[in-house]
Amino acid sequence: MKVLIIEDERGMALEMEHFLIKAGYLCDLAFTAKKAGQFMEEGPYDFILLDLGLPDKDGLLVLEEAKQTCPEASYIILTARGKLEDRIKGLDLGADDYLPKPFSLLELQSRMQAISRRKSGLKNNIVPLGEFTVNLNNRTVLYGSIDIELSKKEFDLLGYMLLNKNRPLTRMQLSEHIWGSFSDDDYDSNYIDVHIKNIRKKMTEYAPVDWLQTIRGVGYKIKI
């Protein structure tokens, strides 16, 4: 999943970036509203983590503008502002959550996971998928007690499709959210096809994967 961190406190921004990359996210950093706007024009994001106290523009105005540029992103406001009216205004403008500073990075990750589950209609991080069980938190796929060994990118791909279950995803969408942005010259849909083939091969050794569907001329989806 792609995350844009908009935070002018560089130490905090770098700490969040390091933590989220280790957790499997792709991250871009913007220390100003201007740079954030450039990032948002270039490609879609799954999450935008937004500090309200930016040096060049009020964060609430950035949020209002960002909702027009990246309407499908999930937004978490990160700020030291304690005023109730700021929190209410941020949520009214479309923020999904509000996390006051200082905060735990584990709590940030937990809130991001909760938002993803809520938007995808999943009740928790442990999801039945055909005859398999997928744990989005510890990144495992089980058939009974057998651990199916997927690579990091294979699990990223499976997890992202699961969070977007029943929704057709193009190869370009999958590439952008798993590998980051590709230029037209760099993009190669074979990246996705090879990983889908590997997922199917590894899992069909144990049970059918009819839920992993190819959408001709478009891409793939998980139907459950």
Which pLDDT value is given to residue 185?
45
Residue 106 makes CB contacts below 8 A (sequence gap 6+) with none
CATH of 2-120 among 3.50.50.60, 3.20.20.140, 3.40.50.2300, 2.60.120.260: 3.40.50.2300
Residue 190 has pLDDT above 90, yes or no: no
- Give percent of the chain with pLDDT exceeding 90: 66
Which pLDDT value is given to residue 188?
57
Angle at alpha carbon of residue 126, lines to 122 and 128, rounded to 5° = 80
Beta bridge partners of 28: 4
Which pLDDT value is given to residue 81?
65
**Mapping DSSP to helix (H, G, I), strand (E, B) and coil, where does residue 133 land?**
strand
CA–CA separation, 181 and 118 (whole Å): 26
pLDDT digits (tens, 9 = 90+) for 67-86: 999 998 999 998 876 667 77
Average pLDDT, rounded, for the chain? 90
Residue 37 has pLDDT above 60, yes or no: yes
SS (H, E, C) 66-105: HHHHCCCCEEEEEECCCCHHHHHHHHHCCCCEEEECCCCH
Residue 16 has pLDDT above 90, yes or no: yes
Residue 51 makes CB contacts below 8 A (sequence gap 6+) with 6, 7, 8, 9, 59, 77, 78, 79
Which of residues 221 and 82 earns the better pLDDT score? 221
Q: Do residues 141 and 133 touch, judged by C-beta distance below 8 A?
A: yes
Please say whether the dihedral angle defined by the alpha carbons of residues 73, 76, 77 and 80, taken in this order, is positive or negative.
negative
Across the range 194-222, mean pLDDT stands at 95
Report the amino acid identity of residue 201. Answer: K
Domain 126-222 has CATH 3.10.580.10: no
Which pLDDT value is given to residue 184?
45
- Please determine whether the domains at 2-120 and 126-222 fall in the same fold group of CATH: no
CA–CA separation, 50 and 182 (whole Å): 24
Domain positions in the chain are 2-120, 126-222
Radius of gyration of the chain from its Cα atoms, rounded to whole angstroms: 18
pLDDT digits (tens, 9 = 90+) for 134-143: 999 889 999 9
| 47-79 per-residue burial string, b: 16 or more CB within 10 A, e: under 16 | bbbbbbebeeeebbebbebbeeebeebbbbbbb
- Say how many Å lie between the first and final Cα of the chain, rounded: 21
Across the range 79-99, mean pLDDT stands at 82
For the chain, give the number of residues: 224
